[in-house]
Amino acid sequence: MQGCNMHCTFCIVPQTRGSERSRPQEEIVQEVRELVAQGVKEVTLLGQIVNLYGRHEFPREKDRSPFVQLLYALEEVDGLERIRFTSPHPIGYREDLIRAFTELEKLCEHVHLPLQSGSTRILKQMHRTYSADQYLRLTEKIRTACPEMALTTDIIVGFPGETEEDYLRTREVVRQVAFDNAFIFRYSERRGTPAAGLPDQLPEEVKEARNQDLLAVIDELALEKARKMKGQTVEILVEGPSKTNQTRYTGRTRGNKIVIIPAERRHLGQLLPVRITEYTNGFTFYGDPAIYGELSENEAEAVAVTE
């Protein structure tokens, strides 16, 4: 899916990428089948507002949006192991999509759901068309249906006119949702966007201070979750060698956490159960494959040495 019709006041995408356009479902499913035939195990559906895929082109069926229909169609692709998507818009994130996570085994338990601000006043200025309370209710529903769901987000700090109170509201919402991670951006003017012309542009020092403060909150939340993950066994898809140590490989959990394990080239592209043995900063984990039989003698030895 390309383009976007949402017109958030800070964003240049509708001007640069044009209106929403969606490829036919069958074409996407066929492309995924071809990728799987080449050995691909995981696909990520992309779109600026991916959950609104096909809303102008294709009908709802069986009470499912075109996007949710696409997810169910991909679930049927033999050999495909994991399905992800990014990024949904809170508007249009409905019951059918929440339910899909409880019914589709291949749909990974991670949603990147842009919040942008926790202040409803600022959300209005951003033309985000949902309130902070609606966002909170949505994340509650998502986690009630799927308690292991990892939630990440995008947040802009220092939007024109953002008061300390608005910022603190964002901070509070971040804590309430307990995000697994967040991309935090200092607002910067994009020429040609409505927000660029707004009064009360904030000084860089204020944006920077809010950025750092929010990063510290996210780090703290991530560490708290990392502590709980230690000792657990999770499934990872092995993606490639670690940049710093060729005897180690990185993989990704279904919740999109990076895990480093001792492995070899033959493990590339494999789904392995691993036990989390350590973590560094709440975002990077170390693990050992839970099934020692999957490892060569040398690797099993390396695991034993680290324990």
Interacting residues toward ligand SF4 by CB under 6 A: 4, 6-8, 11, 13-14, 48-49, 89
Question: 306: which 2 tokens?
Answer: 């680290």
Residue 11 vs 214, nearer CB to ligand SF4: 11
Residue 14 vs 269, nearer CB to ligand SF4: 14
Q: Which has the closest alpha carbon to 66: 112, 39, 97?
A: 97
Residue 49 vs 218, nearer CB to ligand SF4: 49
- Closest separation between CB of residue 266 and ligand SF4, Å? 40
- Closest separation between CB of residue 13 and ligand SF4, Å? 4
Residue 8 vs 260, nearer CB to ligand SF4: 8
Residue 6 vs 223, nearer CB to ligand SF4: 6
Contact 7, 49 (CB under 8 A): no
- Closest separation between CB of residue 9 and ligand SF4, Å? 9
- Closest separation between CB of residue 12 and ligand SF4, Å? 8
Distances 113 to 116, 215, 303 between C-alpha atoms, Å? 9, 17, 36
Question: Residue 294 and residue 196: Cα distance in Å, rounded?
Answer: 55
Residue 9 vs 253, nearer CB to ligand SF4: 9
- Closest separation between CB of residue 108 and ligand SF4, Å? 22
> Phi/psi at 108 (nearest 5 deg)?
-75, 145
- Closest separation between CB of residue 49 and ligand SF4, Å? 5
